Amino acid sequence: MDEFETIEDRFSSFAKLLLEDAAERFKTLRSCSFFDPVPDEWLARFSDLAEIRIFHSDVCLTSQDDETQAFYVILFGTAEAYRNGKMVGTIDTGECIGEGIFFSDANISSSATVIADYKIIAAEFNRATINSLRADAEAMAYIDKALLLALFKKLQGANRKIEK
């Protein structure tokens, strides 16, 4: 077995484990920086609501100006973000995509096209799940804090790019 096959086998095994094992899914979400401010009891609830999605190389997670359909937290892998065809950033393991969906009752469009760099495993929260979370003030207090921290980190990254 060559090194590439070993990597593929590990990726497939990890994805299957996240799909089938709630404790492993919780542990993996806990390791994501996005969920740092979320207490374990709430993270367990969010973990139960997450749909595990696998995206292969060069697959588009979001398209610029299209309606945002879901919120993602990358559990494994990286993606590249493009705005008007220009690469504007990289989204790494533990970071989120599509956070704008939480901030509007109306439809909101994606600000960038996000493409899987290699293979990605992500926790997906679709619009219905997000609406159920938005109906729970306590859940949203934790999500709001996580979103604000994530947006602050993105703003810091953008400021560093501008300085260059």
Which of 98, 32, 37, 93 is closest to 63 using CA atoms?
98
Condensed to tens digits (0 to 9), the pLDDT of residues 123-154 reads: 999 888 888 888 889 888 988 899 888 888 88
pLDDT given for residue 24 in this prediction: 95
The CA distance from 142 to 49, in Å, is: 15
Condensed to tens digits (0 to 9), the pLDDT of residues 67-122 reads: 888 999 999 999 999 999 999 889 999 999 988 887 776 778 888 999 998 899 99
First to last CA, the chain: 44
Please enumerate in sequence order all residues whose Cβ is within 8 A of that of 161, keeping only pairs 6 or more positions apart, or say none.
88, 89
Q: pTM here?
A: 0.87
- Angstrom CA distances, 97 to 9, 50, 94, stand at 26, 14, 10
pLDDT given for residue 25 in this prediction: 96
Helix 127-134 to helix 40-49 angle, to the nearest 10 degrees?
150
pLDDT given for residue 136 in this prediction: 87
The CA-based dihedral angle spanning residues 44, 50, 51, 52, taken in that order and rounded to the nearest 10 degrees: -70
Condensed to tens digits (0 to 9), the pLDDT of residues 47-78 reads: 999 999 999 989 999 999 988 889 999 999 99
